[in-house]
Amino acid sequence: MGAMDAIRSVSVALAGSGGAGVMTAGNMLLEAAALAGYYALMTRTSGPQIRGGEAAAMVRISSFPTDAQDDRFQILAAIDWQNVNRFAAELPLGPGSLIVGDPAQGEPPEVFTRSGARYVPLPLKKIAADAVPGAWPSMVALGALARLTGLPFDAVEKAARKTLKKGLDAGIVAAKAGFAHAASLEGFSLGAPPAKTERWLISGNEAAGYGALRGGVRFVAAYPITPATELLEWLSPALPKVGGTLVQAEDELASINMALGASYGGVPALTATSGPGLSLMTEALGLGVAAEVPVVVVDVMRTGPSTGIATKSEQADLNIALYGMHGDAPHVVVAPNSLADCVAATQWAVGLAESLQVPAIVLSDQYFGQARGVVDIPALSHNGYGRVKAKAGEPYKRYALTESGVSPMAIPGTPGTTYTADGLEHNEKGTPSSQAGDHLAQMDKRSRKVLGLDPGDAWASIEGEGETAVLTFGSCTGPVREALARSGSRARLISLRLLLPAQPERLAKALEGVKRVLVVEQNHSGQFLRYLRSEYGLPGEVQSLRRPGPLPFRPDEILKAL
Amino acid sequence: MNAPVAVVALQAKDFKSDYKPVWCPGCGDYSVLTGITKALAMLELRPENVAVVSGIGCSSRIPAYTTCYGFHGVHGRSLPAATGLKAARPDLTVLVASGDGDGYSIGGNHFLHACRRNVDLTYIVMDNHVYGMTKGQPSPTTEPDWKSKLAPGGTGVREFHPLVIALASGANFIARGFSGDPNGVAALIAQAVRHPGFSFVEILSPCVTFRPEQREWKQAVRPAPVEPTDDPARAARRLMTDDGFNIGVLYKGSRPAFSPQSTQKAGAPEELECQFRL
Amino acid sequence: MPVPTLEDFMSRAYAMELEASERYAQFAEQLDTHNNREVAQLFRRLAQIEGLHAQRILDEMAWPNLPVMPPAFSWDGDEGPETAPFDALHYLMQPYHALEIALRCELQAVKYFDGVAAADVPQRVREAAKEMAADEREHVALIKEWMKKVPPPAPGWDEDPDPPRLSD
């Protein structure tokens, strides 16, 4: 039996191969948990086949909000075992765990049983066939899992009605049968659901898309790439509803340039991509810096380098986001640090890009992007930022040297302020110039305007106190939060949301009294550690906890490092 | 909005800025600039409502030489920038300026898709069969036997036929001009702007510095012997046997211009939130 | 091209002179930018001269406003007969070259006006055309005289030991 944690959180994995419908069933479990008033989070994993491949849906149900994966799964259920051993590293089990499998499909692979988990046979196929001919064993499994986690059946039924288009009645009967059969098994009964709050069920990609629209984006250029495609596909029908437009591009070079063109026309613009696409976009991002054209790129990071592992997460695009442009190209980099934060962080990035007239990169990742979870509705601001627009009057100098470094930007269609935006170095009027004085003046200006940003408290999430500080960013924040909550030890979390411009003074203040720093990141070479060392002073003992994707950090790993 | 200004007919010189072009004296691009400014005056447009988008190269310097809004982007990417601009600001008249290197080499992919997408743009390519700005390398339209430092024996590679590609990819208006006739260029550009969808105007524009032999083009060009057709198959036959010197409008199609999903009455983003609510 | 009235004819003549003047002014700008001051000056002078010719037409016709060209008018050939083509320039060109260009332009103007005078046009137009042709012949003579005072270009005038400069 699990420890005290099992009562507050149950993690369930449902695996199976082609046609088994584990994703659909997993989604329904997620919805059922949400409808029953719990927090829940679903992630997925699958083989490389387009259809018919092995897959696993991972659902964590909890009575507290979290977007981390737990240390291990309490239940691993499988419709069949074909190639499921492939996911063994992603589905850690323990002596208290249950393996539920259909005996007709054979024994569970040794890689799972050697964890000490208890095998409980459940003839899913037979139960399905007995209940209703043609019913799916995955629905039986769904019902069984609901019972084993203490969810009420009516939540399952509601979820099914929401989700299933075909076979609804048969599905409900099958689920009921599974629910009934599981009554005889010992499960993990979650405590009562937490107090009701206003919540969303949302994925990180959807959240980022919604944040973009809240920030004012009304033009999106789209080139599909895993795992960013859903973000673009969510935006496509949403944009016309707010008076915006999406255009599909022929490649990432086109999409970033389209976004720049639209933004030059006065319409806040965005595109979304992943590592390989961001590599292609770096030249045009430099154009945005030099010509001072705002644009936002959401990089839903995946495992790299090169094509890497498209369906898995990693935090290894930090280098290119920070340093990827040729020349000195000051710009903005923002990193959401929770599923819900994808809204606010993207909204903020749009505001920063517009007000500073600069490209902003949002470092999301596959973990956030494709996870779907229940979150408390975040407090969201109404954007106070906006583009400083030029008015006609005097001879217009697009790149006028102002104190803040931000020069009023003329919008095409406005008489009296025509100018040519240029990637060539230029003088205040925008005329191309190779003069040393002009280059220095414009470099100082472009640097000054970004460095002058005062992010306020939004620059980082700082929680807790202690002589040990855990520094991290992005999706590592969730497991760190959970580790610190469990530990009761005196350690503080500092999760950076604003990576560029760096905030050395603010970090110094946040690190007052800290004697030991643990840097947590999901990449091989320690990109975040190197960035911290180059931009900030780190006190005392510095320890790095890092590994590349695809496996997420789990709270107990972080606890151990602490 | 400011108080309405009395509308005065603008002339070509109102579209030309004070910037002195860096082009070599004798360059065909001066003529194209004249043609563009005349066309804009003929069309009774106002400079603030016209945007000129370009890439990198001698011809791409043109935006700043007009009094319109200009966007001097990166090499080969003028068409996507113009596409984004026009899609976000359909009220503007958007001209795109490029050269044979910028437009047909690094910009080749975007050329195909711009023709296909048929956004209401006018694409003006100043073709001098060479990369001028980088000092004389072969371009996709250079003759296979032209000798250069980069290809001392000639490239041996067949030239790109941009008009055929444009037709095959769906361009809605295809014309060829010659810089020796600035008024002719003006007339073609005006027609191209008026014609909806993607209008492609290739202008033979000799490079006096690297291809001085192109002076002979003025003997080689002739008015196209037939009227423009709206039949793609007929146009294809003509263009496949075209020798590169027929001047005039060669194809006028009737595809509807690209129009992104119609904007319904714009609501606030918050209205979308309900789809997430539990 | 049929020339119905004197007004039409004189407005075309005006347009011709104006376009020639503006073209010479553009040439002057180009050569200034390319540091060929001497020839720039010469073109500036030619622009002035053509400008005066244009002004004289306005004065003769007592036009208070600038004349409007009849719609759908276009020159036979590419541009106005007196307009120098853009491809005539070379950044190292000599004053003699500029005058050669001017000479060609004036000869074309003569040809144009002779053509109008010989065509089926109203008498007033014929007379005006003959007058203009005579004026242009004078200009031809003037330019020829001018050319005598200017040294012919030495061989190698277009040699530049420096290769072209890299830019973008």
Residues of chain B above pLDDT 70, percent: 96
If asked whether residues A157 and A105 sit together in one domain, one would say yes
Who contacts B168 (Cβ-Cβ below 8 Å, separation ≥6)?
A: B236
Residues of chain B above pLDDT 90, percent: 84
Option in C34, C167, C168 nearest B25 (CB): C34
Determine whether the interchain pair B80/A254 forms a contact, defined as Cβ–Cβ distance below 8 Å: yes
- pLDDT beyond 80 at A6: no
Let me know if residue C35 belongs to a domain: yes
Chosen from B48, B78, B258, B265 to mutate, greatest number of chain A CBs within 10 A:
B48
What pLDDT was estimated at residue C73? 63
Q: Cβ(A14)–Cβ(A77) under 8 Å?
A: yes
Let me know if residue A188 belongs to a domain: no
- ipTM of the predicted structure? 0.90
Pairwise CA distance, residues A74 & A60, whole Å: 10
The β-bridge relationship of strands A516-521 and A541-546 is: parallel
- pLDDT beyond 70 at C69: no
- Assess B138–C contact: CB distance below 8 Å, yes or no: no
Minimum distance, in Å, between the CA of residue B9 and any CA atom of chain C: 12
Let me know if residue B157 belongs to a domain: yes
Q: What angle do CA C32, C34, C40 make, to 5 degrees?
A: 30
Please compute the mean of the pLDDT values over residues C95-124 and round it to a whole number: 95
Determine whether the interchain pair C87/B209 forms a contact, defined as Cβ–Cβ distance below 8 Å: no
Please compute the mean of the pLDDT values over residues A523-546 and round it to a whole number: 95
Determine whether the interchain pair A253/B53 forms a contact, defined as Cβ–Cβ distance below 8 Å: no
Let me know if residue A193 belongs to a domain: no
Q: Note the pLDDT tens digit of each residue in A48-104.
A: 777 778 899 999 999 999 999 999 999 999 999 988 999 999 999 999 999 999 999
What pLDDT was estimated at residue B150? 84
Q: What is the DSSP string of C38-66?
A: HHHHHHHHHHHHHHHHHHHHHHHHT-SSP
Determine whether the interchain pair C89/B25 forms a contact, defined as Cβ–Cβ distance below 8 Å: yes
- From chain C residues 42-81, the ones with a CB under 8 A of any chain B CB are 74-75, 78-79
Q: Note the pLDDT tens digit of each residue in A115-128.
A: 999 999 999 999 99
What pLDDT was estimated at residue A5? 44
What is the sign, positive or negative, of the torsion defined by CA atoms of A290, A295, A301, A302? negative
Let me know if residue C57 belongs to a domain: yes
Pairwise CA distance, residues B221 & B184, whole Å: 12
Q: Dihedral (C-alpha) C140, C142, C148, C153: value to the nearest 10 degrees?
A: -60
What pLDDT was estimated at residue C161? 84
Minimum distance, in Å, between the CA of residue B24 and any CA atom of chain A: 17
If asked whether residues A372 and A399 sit together in one domain, one would say no
Residues of chain B with Cβ-Cβ distance to A267 below 8 Å are 88-89
Domain final residue pick, A155, A182, A209: A182
Let me know if residue C76 belongs to a domain: no
Option in A213, A247, A412 nearest B260 (CB): A247
pTM score, two decimals?
0.92
Task: Characterize C30-60 residue by residue with b for buried, 16 or more Cβ atoms within 10 angstroms of its Cβ, and e for exposed.
Answer: bbbbbebeebbebbbebbebbbebbeebbee
**Chains contacting A with at least 3 CB pairs below 8 Å?**
B
Counted across chains A and B, CB pairs separated by less than 8 A come out at 191
- Assess B241–A contact: CB distance below 8 Å, yes or no: no
- pLDDT beyond 50 at B3: no
- pLDDT beyond 70 at A9: yes
Who contacts A291 (Cβ-Cβ below 8 Å, separation ≥6)?
A: A260, A264, A421, A422, A423, B71, B72, B73
Q: Cβ(B278)–Cβ(A200) under 8 Å?
A: yes
Residues of chain A above pLDDT 70, percent: 98
Determine whether the interchain pair A242/B69 forms a contact, defined as Cβ–Cβ distance below 8 Å: no
Who contacts A515 (Cβ-Cβ below 8 Å, separation ≥6)?
A: A467, A468, A539, A540, A541
What pLDDT was estimated at residue A261? 98
- pLDDT beyond 70 at A343: yes
Pairwise CA distance, residues A427 & A419, whole Å: 12
- pLDDT beyond 50 at B1: no
Please compute the mean of the pLDDT values over residues A324-351 and round it to a whole number: 98
Provide the number of structural domains found in chain C.
1
Provide the number of structural domains found in chain B.
1
- pLDDT beyond 80 at A326: yes
What pLDDT was estimated at residue B4? 46
Who contacts B129 (Cβ-Cβ below 8 Å, separation ≥6)?
A: B100, B139, B141, B142, B143, B146, B159, B207, B211, B214
Which chain A residue is nearest to residue B274, measuring alpha carbons? A200
What pLDDT was estimated at residue A383? 67
Q: Note the pLDDT tens digit of each residue in B226-239.
A: 899 999 999 999 99
What is the residue range of A38's domain? 5-182
Of A295, A37, A36, A300, nearest to A156 by C-alpha is A36
Residues of chain C with Cβ-Cβ distance to B28 below 8 Å are 86-87
Q: What angle do CA B42, B202, B60 make, to 5 degrees?
A: 85
Pairwise CA distance, residues A547 & A371, whole Å: 20
Domain final residue pick, A453, A472, A502: A453
Residues of chain A with Cβ-Cβ distance to B91 below 8 Å are 413
Let me know if residue A14 belongs to a domain: yes
**Chains contacting B with at least 3 CB pairs below 8 Å?**
A, C
If asked whether residues A423 and A555 sit together in one domain, one would say no
**Chains contacting C with at least 3 CB pairs below 8 Å?**
B
Determine whether the interchain pair A250/B110 forms a contact, defined as Cβ–Cβ distance below 8 Å: yes
If asked whether residues A362 and A260 sit together in one domain, one would say yes
User: What's the mean pLDDT when you consider all of chain B?
Assistant: 93
Of A203, A44, A137, A64, nearest to A481 by C-alpha is A64
Of B249, B183, B234, B207, nearest to B101 by C-alpha is B207
Pairwise CA distance, residues A81 & A17, whole Å: 8
Let me know if residue A504 belongs to a domain: yes
- pLDDT beyond 70 at C77: no
Strand partners, B25: none
Option in A239, A244, A423 nearest B72 (CB): A423
What is the residue range of C127's domain? 6-68+82-149
Q: What is the DSSP string of A394-435?
A: SPP-TT---SSS---B--TT-TT---EEESS-B-TT--B---
What is the residue range of B147's domain? 18-275
Let me know if residue C50 belongs to a domain: yes
If asked whether residues A88 and A207 sit together in one domain, one would say no
Chosen from B13, B106, B128, B183 to mutate, greatest number of chain C CBs within 10 A:
B183
Determine whether the interchain pair B276/A202 forms a contact, defined as Cβ–Cβ distance below 8 Å: yes
Residues of chain A above pLDDT 90, percent: 90
- Quickly state the pLDDT bin for B262 (edges 50, 70, 90): low
Let me know if residue C98 belongs to a domain: yes
Q: Which two tokens stand for residue A351?
A: 């505001």
One-letter amino acid of A295? V
- Quickly state the pLDDT bin for C127 (edges 50, 70, 90): very high
Please indicate whether residue C66 or residue A116 has the higher confidence score (pLDDT): A116
Please compute the mean of the pLDDT values over residues A300-327 and round it to a whole number: 96
If asked whether residues A234 and A355 sit together in one domain, one would say yes
Let me know if residue C162 belongs to a domain: no
- Assess C41–B contact: CB distance below 8 Å, yes or no: no
Find the CATH number of the domain harbouring B242: 3.40.50.970
What pLDDT was estimated at residue B7? 56
What pLDDT was estimated at residue B2? 43
Pairwise CA distance, residues A184 & A141, whole Å: 14
Let me know if residue B12 belongs to a domain: no
- Assess B180–C contact: CB distance below 8 Å, yes or no: yes
Question: H or E element: which one contains A471?
Answer: strand A468-473
Find the CATH number of the domain harbouring C93: 1.20.1260.10
Let me know if residue B214 belongs to a domain: yes
User: What's the mean pLDDT when you consider all of chain A?
Assistant: 94
If asked whether residues A427 and A474 sit together in one domain, one would say no
Let me know if residue C160 belongs to a domain: no
User: What's the mean pLDDT when you consider all of chain C?
Assistant: 90
- pLDDT beyond 50 at A314: yes
What pLDDT was estimated at residue A166? 81
Let me know if residue A187 belongs to a domain: no
CA distances from B247 to B156, B164, B237, C137 (A): 27, 15, 16, 34
Pairwise CA distance, residues A337 & A460, whole Å: 9
Provide the number of structural domains found in chain A.
4
Q: Note the pLDDT tens digit of each residue in A259-287.
A: 999 999 999 999 999 999 999 999 999 99
- From chain C residues 81-140, the ones with a CB under 8 A of any chain B CB are 85-91, 93
Q: Which two tokens stand for residue C45?
A: 């002078």
Please compute the mean of the pLDDT values over residues A355-360 and round it to a whole number: 98
Find the CATH number of the domain harbouring A17: 3.40.920.10
Let me know if residue B10 belongs to a domain: no
Pairwise CA distance, residues A113 & A352, whole Å: 51
Q: Cβ(B173)–Cβ(B229) under 8 Å?
A: no
Task: Characterize C69-92 residue by residue with b for buried, 16 or more Cβ atoms within 10 angstroms of its Cβ, and e for exposed.
Answer: eeeeeebeebbbbbbbbbbbbbbb
Pairwise CA distance, residues A255 & A231, whole Å: 14
Please compute the mean of the pLDDT values over residues C19-30 and round it to a whole number: 96
Residues of chain A with Cβ-Cβ distance to B269 below 8 Å are 210, 213-214, 242
What pLDDT was estimated at residue C165? 75
Let me know if residue C109 belongs to a domain: yes
Minimum distance, in Å, between the CA of residue B195 and any CA atom of chain C: 19
Q: Cβ(A64)–Cβ(A58) under 8 Å?
A: no
- pLDDT beyond 50 at A213: yes
Q: Which two tokens stand for residue C59?
A: 């004065």
Let me know if residue A88 belongs to a domain: yes
Q: What is the DSSP string of B202-221?
A: EEE---TTT-GGGGGHHHH-
Q: Note the pLDDT tens digit of each residue in A150-195.
A: 999 999 999 999 998 888 999 999 999 999 999 999 889 888 999 9
Residues of chain C with Cβ-Cβ distance to B135 below 8 Å are 163-164, 166
Domain final residue pick, A429, A453, A477: A453
Chain centroid to Cα A280, Å, comes to 21
If asked whether residues A223 and A176 sit together in one domain, one would say no
Q: Which two tokens stand for residue A246?
A: 């999406």
